[in-house]
Amino acid sequence: MISDGLLAPASQNMPCLPLQESLKQTSLYDFHRHHGGKMVAFAGWSLPVQYTHSHLESHLHTRQHCSLFDVSHMLQTKVFGRDRIKFIESLVVGDIAELKPNQGTLSLFTNERGGIMDDLIVTSTSDQHLYVVSNAGCRDKDFALMKNKVKEMKAAGCDVDLEVSDNALLALQGPAMARVLQAGVSDSLAKLPFMTSAVMSVFGVPGCRVTRCGYTGEDGVEISVPASRAVELAELLLKDSTVWLAGLAARDSLRLEAGLCLYGNDIDESTTPVEASLIWTLGEVTSGCPSPCLQKNIAMGYVESDYSKLSTALTVEVRKKSCPALVTKMPFVATNYYTVK
């Protein structure tokens, strides 16, 4: 799954804020409180940073078993109309027209200078619309970008319309995901490889869009579910003792181990897609935390190209102290996405 501005407690750039009034709440807010979620303010939303288990326990459980995350704060939009491909390709990098039915791809909104405005997943559904998921922290600018482009294209006689979905979004992540979810769906999940999507009934909840993707590096799905039945579905998934609830802290350290970029830290409007593909041009650490799996500190950042060769020894400054570092291949922890063999 794409980055959504998550931040591990170890990061010094944008720590999680204390809970404030007037924050938006997902449809699972009371559910989180009931299950011991420690709520914090993030991107204008009240979200759980962790539950009764520690950050370390939650992280390792996701790698070894399965965890459930509430990612309903993400912006979900649908693009309709004959010119929907033309519309999205005018805003993002990538060849959306070549996607097969129900296939998705990671893409980027870019500005006129080629800087990254946000990262997102675009799925070309078999229901004659595009399903787009983008970051909560960029929600307002993403929607304004798309809305203005729709207005411009409609004025030019194009057929395109935009609809914001009010569905909740649940991410079930970890090696036990397929076994847990298979008990609640009729079709074989073996037919749903990484970055593909299908609408199905999940544990009796109809009309769910299940996309095999995630932001942890593990095999997983994101389930777009009608908001009115999100709590019901979450409780049904938790009936399997393998499934734990997990929050923002574990999600951030998991994505960093998997080498997945965080918008606002590792990529932003000053970063081009070429640079984000690890052709680094600056000397700056953008994300870092202790790796629960590797039991050592890891970080992503930018270095001058002369120092970007694997196994190059570097020195980084952490809280005004010099620490040795080594350039290494990413991801730090191997990903386990499900692909058709």
Pick out the residues of the known binding site for substrate.
222
- What is the C-alpha to C-alpha distance for residues 278 and 227, in angstroms, rounded to an integer? 38
What number of other Cβ atoms are within 10 A of residue 78's Cβ? 17
DSSP string, 218-282: SSEEEEEE-GGGHHHHHHHHHTSTTEEE--HHHHHHHHHHTT---BTTTB-TT--HHHHTT---S
Strands (E), 27-175: 38-42, 45-50, 66-70, 75-80, 103-110, 116-124, 129-134, 161-164, 168-173
Strands 75-80 and 129-134: antiparallel
Cα distances (angstroms) measured from residue 189 to each of 185, 224, 324: 8, 16, 44
- Contact between 76 and 132 (Cβ < 8 Å): yes
Cα distances (angstroms) measured from residue 56 to each of 69, 252, 289: 16, 12, 12
CB under 8 Å to 291, separation ≥6 — which residues?
Answer: 253, 256, 257, 297, 298, 332, 333
* Beta-bridge partners for 316: 323
- What is the C-alpha to C-alpha distance for residues 234 and 20, in angstroms, rounded to an integer? 25
Pick out the residues of the known binding site.
222
DSSP H or E segment with residue 300: strand 296-302
Cα distances (angstroms) measured from residue 162 to each of 48, 57, 83, 157: 30, 41, 12, 15
- Contact between 247 and 73 (Cβ < 8 Å): no
